Structure 1
Amino acid sequence: MTEQERYRKRAAALQYDTETDVAPKVTATGKGYVAEEIVERAKQNKIPIQSDPSLVELLSELNINEQIPEELYQVVAEVFAYIYQVDQKAAKK
């Protein structure tokens, strides 16, 4: 990965607790080395990763611990559906 590619790389992390949260919230955002660290920690904790640069760009505009706006509910629901499917497949192994 070139230095320019590393700089452009962005990542965001979401959290959603159905018991306490009204909507998912952003728990981390970053670019470059920070983005790499977010992805690495997700891998270390076996958290599924989905690549969606457009969504990451929108999430990066939010503050940490800020709930996602209604306009992003549909796309974020799709991300959580993907994670649910990955978790179900992993549980069957």
Structure 2
Amino acid sequence: MKKKIRGRETAVALNYDSDRDVAPKVVAIGQGNVAKKMLEKGEESDIPIYKDEKLVSQLAQMEMGSYIPETLYEAVAQVLVFIAEVDSYEE
């Protein structure tokens, strides 16, 4: 996911393993050049990129490695549906 905060691009990476995790968790947060590198690596690895400015703003305030709070479950569920649709389209 990405957005611009105060003119700086921001990216947040989430990870979710339904067999291991109780909820998706934040695994990387970057701004500026770090965000650009995250997005480049994601594109190179064919990782879907979802754009939601409000959600990225909230996730970027979290600590890396923390599970998303229940208040963001619905928003992140939309991201997971998007990724599932992209994955099924590519197959």
- Give the TM-score normalised by structure 2: 0.90
Higher strand share: 2
Runs of 4+ in 1 over 4 A off after TM superposition: none
The equivalences for 1:1-93 within 5 A come to: 8-91=8-91
Q: Which one scores higher on RCO, CA 8 angstroms, separation ≥ 6?
A: 2
Structure with max Cα Rg: 1
Q: How many residues align?
A: 86
Gaps of 5+ in 1: none
Alignment gaps of 5+ in structure 2: none
The separation in 2 between residues aligned to 1:37 and 1:27, in whole angstroms, is 15
Distance across 2 between alignment mates of 1:58 and 1:37: 21
Q: Percent identical across equivalent pairs?
A: 42
* Counterpart code for 1:31: Q
> 1:10–1:53: 8 Å Cα contact kept in structure 2?
no
Pairwise CA distance, 1:51: 0.8
Instruction: Tell me which protein shows more helix as a share of its residues.
Output: 1
- The C-alpha deviation readout for 1:1-48, integer Å capped at 9, x for no partner, is xxxx9x511100000001110000001011100110111111111000
What value does the CA root-mean-square deviation take over the aligned residues? 1.2
